Amino acid sequence: MTGAAVPGPDGGLRCPWGLSTADYVTYHDEEWGRPVHGDDALFERLCLEAFQSGLSWITILRRREGFRSAFDGFKISSVAAFTEADEERLLADPGIIRNRAKIRATLANARVLADWPAGELDDLIWSFAPGPARSAPRTIADVPAVTDESTALAKALKKRGLRFVGPTTAYALMQACGLVDDHLADCVARGGGR
């Protein structure tokens, strides 16, 4: 069955994408699909998913520390205070993806979120977590790119003034932050396994 869980170096079955590089193995086993809470932590994931748009996730994952350094650890209050000089600094930083539209969206989003009460981003995002009724995917073909919940989340974020948050980006955020568990049914990491 193509796209089914495959054995890793330790013999445990994993989602096929989670074995393509050592970086992916660690991310797959220890982070992807685990619940993430906190406004700054969710802001980081939202930003990274937006930067990933049109690129492979490994490109973002390998530059994650560069992003964290460039964006002051994704502290919303800090990024909201970035100036035009900071934007130019970011555009010259080889440690991140130097895309003007994505950088501007990140700064604009931080400014919007800085006005929200503490915990509001966390509450809003998690309010779109689907119920547990969905069955575990058996193959990667069973994993959607967009769901009704991700479409609704994207719409809610846009309505509140956030940018670069389409339904596909919103679903990737939901997967990465544990709102949904899209580890394959036979994957050792399903349900927080490892």
Q: Is 171 a catalytic residue?
A: no
Overall size of the chain counted in residues: 194
pLDDT in tens, 11-53: 999 999 999 899 999 999 999 999 999 999 999 999 999 999 9
Q: Is 17 a catalytic residue?
A: no
Catalytic residue among 17, 57, 116, 126: 57
Is the pLDDT reported for residue 194 higher than 70? no
Mean pLDDT computed over 81-93: 98
Give residue 1's pLDDT: 45
Residue 80 corresponds to which tokens in the numbers above? Answer: 């909201």
Is the pLDDT reported for residue 193 higher than 60? no
The 3-class secondary structure across the chain, one letter per residue, is CCCECEECCCCCEECHHHHCCHHHHHHHHHCCCCCCCCHHHHHHHHHHHHHHCCCCHHHHHHCHHHHHHHCHHHCHHHHHCCCHHHHHHHHCCCCCCCCHHHHHHHHHHHHHHHCCCCCHHHHHHHCCCCCCCCCCCCEHHHCCCCCHHHHHHHHHHHHCCCCCCCHHHHHHHHHHCCCCCCCCCCCCCHHHCC
Catalytic residue among 27, 44, 149, 171: 27
The pLDDT > 90 percentage for the chain reads 91
CA distances to 34, 48, 143, 187, 193 from 96, in Å: 24, 10, 29, 31, 31
Give residue 2's pLDDT: 62
Q: Is 24 a catalytic residue?
A: no
Catalytic residue among 24, 32, 44, 49: 49
User: How many whole angstroms separate alpha carbon 118 and alpha carbon 62?
Assistant: 30
Give residue 191's pLDDT: 81
| pLDDT range class, residue 102, cuts 50, 70, 90 | very high
